[in-house]
């Protein structure tokens, strides 16, 4: 079974802190994605990556950056956390470009105080 894991289920940080959210997939997928999920807004794409060291901006990249140094790991970085970044963050992976099924991790609920 495909497994996507995220480093934390719950995280509480203070405004201005640098925050790292880690995601690891164990199925050798090329594509990885970071979304944020907010009530009524569904899932909005922050960043995605098609390959190691490759990254592309999604719909809402402002205030975020990403790192993909290894194929199995995709990190989301909040350079200076703000209260409006309080949200559920979901990581996903898929096996190839154009593949429809994205496999999601369980999510990290981040609260910024």
Tell which one of 12, 41, 52, 113 touches other proteins (CB under 8 A): 41
Cβ neighbours for 85, distance < 8 A, ≥ 6 positions apart: 63, 78, 110, 112
Residue pair 91/110 in contact (Cβ under 8 Å)? The answer is no
Can you name the residues that pair with 4 across neighbouring β-strands?
A: 25
Q: Could you give the CA distance from residue 13 to residue 88 in angstroms, rounded to a whole number?
A: 14
CB of 14 to other proteins, least distance (A): 25
Which of 17, 101 has the CB closer to other proteins? 101
Stretch of 12-20, 68-76, 77-85, 93-101 lying at the interface with other proteins (CB under 8 A): 93-101
Residue 104 in contact with other proteins, rule: CB under 8 A: yes
**Which positions from 17 to 36 touch other proteins by CB under 8 A, shown as an x/- string?**
----------------x-x-
Which of 17, 38 has the CB closer to other proteins? 38
Secondary-structure breakdown of the chain: helix, strand, coil percentages, each rounded to the nearest 5: 5, 55, 45
Q: Could you give the CA distance from residue 70 to residue 3 in angstroms, rounded to a whole number?
A: 16
Residues near other proteins, by CB under 8 A = 4, 33, 35, 40-45, 48, 58-60, 90, 92, 97-98, 100-102, 104-107
């Amino acid at each position: 079974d495909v497994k996507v894991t995220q480093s934390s289920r719950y995280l509480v940080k203070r405004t201005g802190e640098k925050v790292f959210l880690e995601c690891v997939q164990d199925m050798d997928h090329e594509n990885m994605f970071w979304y944020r999920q907010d009530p009524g807004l569904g899932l909005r794409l922050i960043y995605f990556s098609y390959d190691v060291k490759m990254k592309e901006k999604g719909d809402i990249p402002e205030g975020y950056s990403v790192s993909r140094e290894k194929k199995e790991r995709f990190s989301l970085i909040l350079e200076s956390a703000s209260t409006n970044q309080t949200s559920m963050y979901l990581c996903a992976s898929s096996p190839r470009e154009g593949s429809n099924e994205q496999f999601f991790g369980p999510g990290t609920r981040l609260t910024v105080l």
